[in-house]
Amino acid sequence: MCGIAGYIGHKDADQVLVVALERLKYRGYDSAGIAVIDNREIHLRRGVGKLKALSDLLERSPAPGTCGIAHTRWATHGAPTEANCHPHLSGDERIAVVHNGIIENHEELRRRLQAQGCVFRSETDTEVIPHLIAQYYNASPVRDPLAAIRQAVAGLEGSFAIAVMFADHPGRIIAARLGSPLLVGRGRRSPGAHSDRIAKADDRRRTDGGTPVDQRELMVASDVPALLPHASEVCFLADGQIADLGPHGVRLFTLDGKPEEARFKAIEVTADAVSKGSYDTFMAKEIAEQPSVLARLVDSRLNGGRLVDPDLGLDLAKVNHIVFLACGTSWHAALLGKRFLEHLARVHVEVDISSEYRYRNPVASGGTLVVSISQSGETADTLAGLRLARAKFIPVVSLVNVVTSTIARESNGVMPLLAGPEIGVASTKAYTAQVLALLLFAAQVARAKGLLDATAEAALVAACRALPEQAAATLAGAEDAVIEAADLFAAAQATVFLGRGGEHPTALEGALKLKEIAYVHAVGYPAGEFKHGPIALVSSHLPVICMCPKDALYEKMLSNLQEVRARAGRVIAVGEQGDRHLPELADLVFPVAKAGDDLLQPILSVLPLQRYAYHVARRRDCDVDQPRNLAKSVTVE
Ligand code: AGP
């Protein structure tokens, strides 16, 4: 989804903002742009395609100034062309706006503005915003930017995060949020504030009519990484807040103008955590991080060898119905969560896709609990589902990786995934962390209901503790076979993944990974269902990846594998290290360590599938971190 960044300080804004946009690329984008104020003029630079187009343009034609706003666009209304790139300007080019979200009543607003003489330069929904702000601003004798923005956003329907600059007010950015995430960053008070550079910037602001600067750099952004390294503190805007950044510092207001306190907290993420380090891609780095992510999560939940239950602010013993809400990969994790809860806590569980749940009229009883699962904590559909549940007085707990996210803030209780920033669009480490966190949650519910005795708890703890080492062994042990399979099947036009029980979600997840980063048509099926139609797809050109852990369904899986072989399908088996049958039955075997508890096996089985998708994508020359058409954080419907 679109990314927003804005900067006020003493550095060249275009340089700062290009780095900020670089850090927002993971959200998915197809064009980028920047506007900087200098000498009371707005300088606009925009480029279609990769961010390099914009940075090359800025090299040829720098945008001077120390205050600017910038944007990565993920097209919704209008193709990725220069005219549709943000920032968008008012007719007199005195106001610049960047926007994330969708303005649902843009057609009606556009017609009205056009009838009043506004000339539109783009096909975007966004462009109505600068025209509206300009109307209110120019109509008022006091020409108050804050009041004009408040009036303009009052007429917008849909969701938005915006950042706005006025040529008449250099050194000032006003940002507002309703539905799409936005945050404000603040740097340290600069001890070198009297350096020539800052003095010059101060002079320029004074000449431009600004008051002497608060010496801290100020930023706005859609996500924390974009604030680094200039900001050391962050303030998350709540829905319906406006932030006014300028020489006066940061002032917060509600949309109807009531002042609010800006609460800043230290930024804990480092610039290193959001860089690739020695890896060629974020995806490769994040796959490799999984053993340490699992270890961190296990350690956070153990004390003296016993499970520690986080306080979720509700009595889990009374919960008799759980509804999971999630999208994409997080939904696959939820399918495993259902198995864990049914097995350990004997609770009735439904797994809902957030975009479906939010448009139904779901039934809830006194003992219902909604559990929303989201890596980003900003997914619009999951957030809407959460709000619907809360409106029905259903308590909501959330599993999120970004604990400062909107979903986390609006939940009654939060279970953090502790996976660290996940930048690659394809979720990998957040998925395995979700699955493990769901197992720990199921154990917590089971214990609250008196269904987890000390022996069972000790066995589960031992299995969890062994997991990080088993994950490392699996990643190392399967790599050669994964590379061989990618060499053999990278050109295949389709791939099928089959799994039973806990490996059915693994099959779905393996297929999603291959689809999203390698653009190979892939589907996951419950293996027993394959013969009811999809088996017609099998031919010698079709790789079929069969999940065959040695669990209660092993024999059944082998029968399914034989059915594929009998029809000349090409079989890759994912099975236990040392399994002697699989090499005889399959073209290739991805060996996986055996988990201490069958419930945990899917965490290990998915690892070679992530690496397989990665290697196939590389062979097909795909950008694994930013696959086409996708966004990391899906903040629109
Ligand atoms: C994962 O690889 C996908 N890119 C996508 O399905 C993702 O899991 C989904 O959009 C949900 O995101 P969330 O976990 O941040 O809510």
CA distance 548 to 404: 39
CA distance 436 to 602: 10
DSSP string, 104-171: TTHHHHHHHHHHTT----SS-STTHHHHHHHHHHHHSTT--HHHHHHHHHHT--EEEEEEEEETTSTT
Q: Closest Cα to atom 10, ligand 1: which residue? A: 328
Domain 469-626 has CATH 3.40.50.970: no
Residue 53: which H helix or E strand, with range? helix 51-60
- Checking if the pLDDT of 322 tops 50, the result is yes
CB distance 405 to ligand 1 below 6 Å: no
DSSP string, 197-229: HHHHHHHHHHHTTPPPPPSS-EEEESSGGGGTT
- Checking if the pLDDT of 44 tops 90, the result is yes
**Structural contact between residues 465 and 436, judged by C-beta atoms closer than 8 angstroms:** no
Nearest atom of ligand 1 to the alpha carbon of 327: 11
CA distance 286 to 471: 13
- Checking if the pLDDT of 408 tops 80, the result is yes
CB distance 329 to ligand 1 below 6 Å: yes
CA distance 412 to 349: 19
Nearest atom of ligand 1 to the alpha carbon of 425: 4
Nearest atom of ligand 1 to the alpha carbon of 632: 4
Confidence class for position 196, pLDDT limits 50, 70, 90 = very low
Task: For residue 180, give the amino acid letter.
Answer: S
Q: What pLDDT was estimated at residue 405?
A: 86
CB distance 382 to ligand 1 below 6 Å: yes
CB distance 406 to ligand 1 below 6 Å: no
pLDDT digits (tens, 9 = 90+) for 581-623: 999 999 999 999 999 999 999 999 999 999 999 999 999 999 9
CATH architecture of 279-452: 3-Layer(aba) Sandwich (3.40)
CB distance 636 to ligand 1 below 6 Å: no
- Checking if the pLDDT of 199 tops 70, the result is no
- Checking if the pLDDT of 213 tops 60, the result is no
In 274-333, which ranges are E strands?
Answer: 302-303, 306-307, 321-326
CB distance 375 to ligand 1 below 6 Å: yes
pLDDT average, residue stretch 429-441: 98
- Checking if the pLDDT of 492 tops 50, the result is yes
Taking alpha carbons only, the member of 86, 65, 74 closest to residue 130 is 86
CA distance 549 to 595: 10
Q: Closest Cα to atom 2, ligand 1: which residue? A: 426
Taking alpha carbons only, the member of 441, 473, 422 closest to residue 286 is 422
Q: Closest Cα to atom 7, ligand 1: which residue? A: 328
- Checking if the pLDDT of 212 tops 70, the result is no
Confidence class for position 193, pLDDT limits 50, 70, 90 = very low
Q: Closest Cα to atom 16, ligand 1: which residue? A: 374
Taking alpha carbons only, the member of 141, 147, 152 closest to residue 118 is 152
pLDDT digits (tens, 9 = 90+) for 267-305: 887 777 778 889 999 999 999 999 999 999 999 998 878
The answer to whether 2 is a known catalytic residue is: yes
Please determine whether the domains at 279-452 and 469-626 fall in the same fold group of CATH.
Answer: yes
Catalytic pick among 285, 513, 594, 632: 632
Best of 26, 427, 516 for a ligand 1 pocket test (most atoms within 8 Å of beta carbon): 427
Q: What pLDDT was estimated at residue 274?
A: 78
Q: Which CATH class is domain 3-273?
A: alpha beta
**Structural contact between residues 267 and 421, judged by C-beta atoms closer than 8 angstroms:** no
Confidence class for position 455, pLDDT limits 50, 70, 90 = very high
**Structural contact between residues 428 and 625, judged by C-beta atoms closer than 8 angstroms:** no
Taking alpha carbons only, the member of 223, 247, 212 closest to residue 423 is 223
CA distance 539 to 157: 51
pLDDT digits (tens, 9 = 90+) for 375-386: 999 999 999 999
| Average pLDDT across the chain, whole number | 91
Query: What tokens appear for 401 in the block?
Result: 């990786």
Domain residue extents for the chain: 3-273, 279-452, 469-626
The answer to whether 632 is a known catalytic residue is: yes
CB distance 374 to ligand 1 below 6 Å: yes
Residue 38: which H helix or E strand, with range? strand 31-38
pLDDT digits (tens, 9 = 90+) for 100-126: 988 999 999 999 999 999 999 999 999
632 C-alpha to ligand 1 centroid (Å): 7
Q: What pLDDT was estimated at residue 190?
A: 59
Question: For residue 212, is the peptide bond before it cis, meaning its omega torsion is within 30 degrees of 0?
Answer: no
CB distance 379 to ligand 1 below 6 Å: yes
376 C-alpha to ligand 1 centroid (Å): 8
If one compares 77 and 582, the residue with the highest pLDDT of the two is: 582
CA separation, residue 71 to residues 22, 163, 355 (Å): 10, 10, 27
Q: What pLDDT was estimated at residue 179?
A: 81
